[in-house]
A and B are shown apart, each in its own frame.
Chain A
Amino acid sequence: MAVAKAEDGLNRSAARKSFGMGEIVKRYGIYLFLVLAILVTTAISPAFVSGSNITNMLMQLAPLAVVVIGQTFVILVRGLDLSVASVMATAAVIATSFSGQDGAALTVLFASIAMGAATGLANGLLVTKRNVSPFLATLATMIVLQGFRFAATQGAPSGNVPPIFRLLGSAKFYGVPYNLMVMLVMAAIFAMLLHKAAFGRRVFITGGNPVTARLVGISADRVIIACYMICGGLAALAGLLLSGFVGVVDNFVGRGFELDSIVAAVMGGVALSGGRGTIPGALAGAAILVVLSNAVVMIGMPVQLQIIVKGVVIIVAASLYVRTAR
């Protein structure tokens, strides 16, 4: 993949020489696994690939995938963002805080994304200027945001989501969900930014080795802050999509997305140690999460197994990456 250029130019010649099993697993394992999961589930339950089920899965994928794109940026610079779910829920509450008419849609959009980016700025400043570990910094902003949200809504949000968000979140255009289109546009923009633009190279260099970054004249702090802001902004957008999908807004829209997005990115080959990973890989990770959750239900296993399967897959996937990275 073109991506490898920016990512590990140094290792390229070595990688070319030994194109063994390990290398294949590392580069394409996630896609192979995705295909395998789909094939196995289809074999057991043909209804899995019915049009309605596929649309259903794609609609579930879209909001998660948007968050995963942002999470990928943050993990690439050796970070982690636990505040995304809180940002999502806050965006959903903002969506219902205005008139509930389409006239308010732009206001809602700007207010939400500004809130997400501001949260990202706070995360980034804590991480870079105060050397707070990303885990803690984003945990703290998550809690603060949750508190403000509860205080603002008195625990019971009410009001309507502007109809245009309902449309974007839950309607289809000739069978293609609108939220999937939004997701694909975001994926294209941010994959270009990460894998084709100068900013992306700065992200990989900063994540790969902050000392090198400084030596070649990159302001690592600014790159890191930008990554957190991208993540916050995308999480806010995902919150709007999800609020449009579920229709009703509660204080916990997006619950679980913080961990799911990290898991998806890690499964997709984004290394927690920073500097390695791709947007397509991370999106495949998100797709696997959705496919597995759906497969458990389609195969007729108890719903509780969803979470167990998820746990097993995280550990297995992560250990495969560690093994191939050696």
Chain B
Amino acid sequence: MNLTRSKLGFGINRSRAGIIVVVALLAILFIIGIAVSDRFGTSRNLLNIYEQSTGLALVSLGQTLAVLTGGIDLSVGSVISLVSMLTSGLISGDQSMVIPVVIGVLALGLAIGAVNGGVIILTGVHPLIVTLGTGAIIQGIALLYGLGPIGKVPKGFDYFAYGRLPGGISFGATFTMLLFLLTAFLLARTKAGRYIYATGDDPHAATLMGLPTTRIIMLVYMLTGFCSALTGVYLVSRFGVGQPYTGANYTLASITPVVVGGTMLAGGRGGVIGTLLGVYLVSLLNNLLNFLGVSTHLQLVAQGLVIIAAVSVYVEKRRIA
């Protein structure tokens, strides 16, 4: 197995190869963009693309970690929806409630992640099925809490989404980028980070080597839950209110940047920087298609084709047959 894999890799570290591909694609799209419109390359438009990437980036960060261990988290959309509902519903316009509620919902994200991880470990059921199940349960709870937009947030809560740093740079997007850099650093430089890769590469071998794989899996799903909760808070900041289906599209959308960025669904290869670039690629692509006057309908086709192109270039771990 390992033999075939190293043969396929052509000696190139896959995550690095992924980054090269995404950077090349970003460059090509950028050149096309400048060629088609004068306004595309303006700092205003670029800052706009940067700002709009925040939500997808936050949720994809957590998703990358789950995928690195060979798992997947399909409950992210429901967690985002539930957290958005609770955030605006519990704050309910009261300034003094902001900090306790935000801390509370982030802790809830961690707790939901712990449940996901715990169920995966205890039952031995594939994460796809487990998180599909917990996702359904959480969506149901969100709907029990309210069937429509609920609550409101005080003035100033929109800083996360619309706040600007000096130079007009988006606060939320920059915060998110720093979170990616921190995660990349921790993945590369800490034991836990290396264990995540080892667990994803071959869980059986990792367990035999005495690595704490169960704790690693718990940690990863807790972090994924945390990132989803953060995305929920971000969406409340952006829209001003929580909605029961606000996260629904993020579940599958969060997978695209991960795989486009070179992280294999089989686990063990890839990294968060590739994902961040993947998010920028998706944002840039949508923006470019807008400039090209492509209908939003065909933008979907383009996104699907990008996924197919990306996964065809990378070639997943070779099947045995």
Instruction: Give A contacts to B, CB under 8 Å.
Output: 80, 126, 130-133, 135-137, 139-148, 150-151, 154-155, 206, 210-211, 213-214, 220-221, 259, 262-263, 266, 272, 302, 304-308, 310-315, 318-319, 322-323
B124 touches A319 (CB 8 A): yes
A146: which B residues are within 8 A, CB to CB?
Answer: 300, 304
The CA-CA distance from A274 to B253 in the complex, in Å, is 27
Expressed in whole angstroms, the Cα–Cα distance for A318 and B131 within the complex equals 12
Taking a contact as CB atoms closer than 8 A, the residue among B72, B298, B320 that contacts A147 in the complex is B298
Q: Is A151 a contact of B308 with CB atoms below 8 Å?
A: no
A259 to B318, CA, bound (A): 26
Q: Which residues of B line the A interface, CB within 8 A? A: 72, 119, 122-126, 128-130, 132-141, 143-144, 147, 252, 255, 259, 265-266, 295-305, 307-308, 311-312, 315-321
Partner of B297, one of A155, A312, A314, A315: A155
Known: A131-B319, A136-B311, A140-B311. 13 other contacts (CB 8 A): A130-B312, A132-B308, A135-B128, A139-B307, A143-B307, A155-B297, A206-B321, A307-B143, A308-B144, A311-B134, A314-B132, A315-B130, A318-B123
Q: Lowest 4 CB-CB distances: which A-B pairs, in order? A: A210-B321, A311-B136, A147-B300, A147-B301
Contact B133 A315 (CB under 8 A): yes
Q: B123 and A144: CB pair below 8 A?
A: no
Most buried by B among A80, A131, A140: A140
Cβ of B318: which chain A residues have Cβ within 8 Å of it?
A: 131
With contact pairs A132-B311, A311-B133, A311-B136 given, residues A272 and B304 touching in the complex (Cβ less than 8 Å): no
Q: Is the CB of B144 within 8 A of A210?
A: no
Report the Cα distance A132→B316, complex, angstroms.
6
A319 touches which of B123, B259, B303, B317 (Cβ 8 Å) = B123
> Which residues of chain A come closer than 8 Å to B138, judged between CB atoms?
311
The residue among B138, B266, B300, B318 with the most chain A CB atoms within 10 A of its own CB is: B300
Please determine whether A148 and B140 come into contact, CB atoms closer than 8 angstroms. no
Interchain Cβ contacts under 8 Å between A and B, 5 examples: A126-B311, A133-B316, A213-B321, A311-B133, A315-B134
Q: Which residues in B have their C-beta under 8 angstroms from that of A211?
A: 320-321
B315–A131 touching, CB < 8 Å: yes
Q: Report the separation of the CA atoms of residues A136 and B260 in the bound assembly, to the nearest whole angstrom.
A: 11
CA distance A312 to B132 in the complex (A): 10
Partner of B140, one of A130, A143, A210, A304: A304
Residues of B within 8 A of A143 (CB): 300-301, 303-304, 307
Given A307-B139, A319-B124, A150 contacting B297 (CB threshold 8 A):
yes
Closest residue on chain B to residue A128 by CB atoms = B319
Question: With A130-B311, A133-B316, A210-B319 in contact, is A263–B265 under 8 Å at CB?
Answer: no
Alpha-carbon distance between A310 and B137 when the two chains are bound, in angstroms: 8
Q: Are B140 and A307 in contact (CB under 8 A)?
A: yes
A311 to B75, CA, bound (A): 11
A304 & B144 in contact (Cβ 8 Å cutoff): yes
Q: For residue B147, which residues in chain A have a CB less than 8 angstroms away from its CB?
A: 304
A271 nearest in chain B by CB position: B126
Assembled-state Cα–Cα distance A315/B144 (Å): 20
- Residue in A140, A206, A305, A318 whose CB lies within 8 Å of B307: A140
If the complex has contacts A131-B318, A307-B139, are A315 and B308 also in contact, measured as CB distance less than 8 A?
no
| Contact among B126, B137, B315 for A312, CB-based, below 8 A | B137
**How distant is the Cα of A323 from the Cα of B136 in the complex, in angstroms?**
23
Give the most central of B119, B138, B301: most A CB within 10 Å.
B301
B297-A154 in contact (CB<8A):
yes
Q: Which chain A residue shows the least CB distance to B295?
A: A151
Residues of A within 8 Å of B255, CB to CB, are: 135-136, 139
- Given contacts A132-B316, A214-B321, A304-B144, A312 and B298 within 8 Å (CB-CB): no
| Chain A, Cβ-Cβ closest to B297 | A150
Q: Which of A139, A214, A220 has the most CB of B within 10 A?
A: A139
**A311 touching B137, Cβ below 8 Å:** yes
In this complex, which of A130, A142, A259 has the most chain B Cβ atoms within 10 angstroms of its Cβ?
Answer: A130
Q: How far is B252's CA from A158's CA once the two chains are assembled, in angstroms?
A: 28
Q: Report B-chain residues with C-beta under 8 Å of the C-beta of A139.
A: 252, 255, 307
With A304-B144, A312-B137, A315-B125 as known contacts, state yes or no: A126 contacts B304, CB within 8 Å: no
Complex: A150 Cα to B303 Cα, angstroms? 14
- Residues on A with beta carbons closer than 8 Å to the beta carbon of B266: 133
Name the residue in B136, B143, B303, B315 with the highest tally of chain A Cβ atoms < 10 Å from its Cβ. Answer: B136
A301 CB, min distance to chain B CBs, angstroms: 11
**B136 & A314 in contact (Cβ 8 Å cutoff):** yes
Determine the chain B residues whose CB is within 8 A of the CB of A137 once the complex forms.
308, 311
Q: Which residue of A lies closest to B313 (CB)?
A: A130
What's the minimum C-beta distance from B205 to chain A, rounded to whole angstroms?
19
| Alpha-carbon distance between A213 and B320 when the two chains are bound, in angstroms | 11
Most chain B beta-carbon contacts within 10 A, residue among A144, A145, A206, A305: A144
Chain A nearest CB from B33 CB (Å) reads 21
Q: Which residues on the A side are within 8 Å of B72 (C-beta)? A: 135
B298 / chain A contacts, CB cutoff of 8 Å: 147, 150-151
Residue pair A126, B129 in contact (C-beta under 8 Å): no
Contacts of B303 in A (CB 8 A): 143, 147
Q: Which residue of B lies closest to A145 (CB)?
A: B304
Q: What is the minimal beta-carbon distance from A248 to any residue of chain B, in angstroms? A: 20
**A137 to B140, alpha carbons, bound, how many Å?**
29
B320: chain A residues within 8 A (beta carbon): 210-211
Residues on A with C-beta less than 8 A from B301 are 143-144, 147-148, 151
